[in-house]
Amino acid sequence: MAGSRGCEQCGAEFVPQREHARFCSVDCRAAWNRDHLGDRAVDASALAWSVAAMSEATGRLPGVKVWDKPQARAAIEEAVWWITMVDATLVRHHPGVYDAVMAAQAPAERALIEQTLAGLRFVRNRSGRDAGLGEVIATMDPGAGNRRVTGWRWKRVPDPALASLPPSGQAWEMARYRAYQAHLAGHTIGETFGRAVAFLSLTGANAATVTAAGGARQPKLADVPRAHIRGQGRSQSPGGHAAVW
């Protein structure tokens, strides 16, 4: 999908399987973590704070007034930023826990979570380059059946302009775009955010526990509770996914 990059631990060239990959192997990742181990309590606290901020940003959405579209778009943009920030933090600094929680999902659910998060990265990048989220959100006027912004839906959008990006960047952004078109477009804001927040909250909780208990130790799958992300204290969408209503 993208060109090779250098491992941050040993310097060897490798082809990344995800866009945030930094190491060529589990051994290099563990060695880097040992060499850069900081205050475990501070690390766990910072992660917990970030996850809480993400949950607060998405949790505020049902109370946002649908007739105030600029405010609603700003609130959605903030939620997208927090979700993608927490996701990137977990992938970069807690990859073992991230992979273990992801592997504990059923195959179809795992693919859906991965593609949902990739699609939200596309939204983040598009809102950063263009004028907000107006081009990707289908807003609706207030009505009896449309009183919450979480009921707004993601639009289908044309192919992104990628000429300014290097070849590797174009490949990653096209992957994000395809994920957006396949798994966000046509779906509601609440459904999308609910799925992402449920997974990231579960992963963050496990990462904080592992950090506090074992520092740089990379967990095995057995270390992570096999709790499915569905039903993590949220309402269920018709498809069975947790949703932010």
Question: Which tokens is 11 given?
Answer: 């310097």
Q: For residue range 114-125, what is the model confidence (pLDDT) as tens digits?
A: 999 999 999 998
pLDDT at 51: 93
pLDDT at 234 exceeding the cut of 70: no
Q: What is the pLDDT of residue 36?
A: 57
Residue 128's pLDDT is: 66
* Amino acid letter for position 157: V
What pLDDT, on the 0 to 100 scale, is given for residue 200?
97
Instruction: Identify the pLDDT of residue 210.
Output: 82
Which long-range contacts link 171-174 to residues 24+ away (Cβ below 8 Å)? Answer: 171/1, 171/2, 172/1, 172/2, 172/19, 173/122, 173/125
Task: State the pLDDT confidence band at 222, using cuts at 50, 70 and 90.
Answer: very low
**Are 156 and 186 in contact, with CB atoms under 8 Å apart?**
yes
Among 41-50, 73-82, 159-168, the minimum mean pLDDT is found in 41-50
Q: Is the pLDDT of residue 218 over 60?
A: no
Residues 6+ apart with CB under 8 A from 11: none
* Residues 142-196 pLDDT 10s: 664 567 899 999 999 888 887 777 777 788 889 999 999 999 999 999 999 999 9
* pLDDT tens profile 197-207: 999 999 999 99
| Phi, psi of 211, rounded to the nearest 5 degrees | -60, -45
Q: What is the mean pLDDT of the chain?
A: 79
User: In the structure encoding, which two tokens stand for residue 23, read together?
Assistant: 């190491």
More confident residue, 231 or 95: 95
Closest CA to 96 of 209, 232, 241, 9: 209
Q: Are 61 and 190 in contact (CB under 8 A)?
A: yes
| Number of other residues whose CB lies within 10 A of the CB of residue 214 | 12
Instruction: Provide the percentage of residues in the chain whose pLDDT is more than 90.
Output: 38
How far is Cα 219 from Cα 66, in angstroms, rounded to an integer? 43
Q: Residue 133's closest CA among 146, 152, 148?
A: 152
Q: What is the pLDDT of residues 46-64, one digit of tens each?
A: 788 889 999 999 999 998 8
pLDDT score recorded for residue 43: 62
Residue with the larger pLDDT of the pair 95 and 4? 95
Range in 7-16, 37-46, 131-140 the model is least confident about: 37-46
The answer on pLDDT for 90 being more than 60 is: yes
Listed by start position, the domains of the chain span 1-36, 39-243
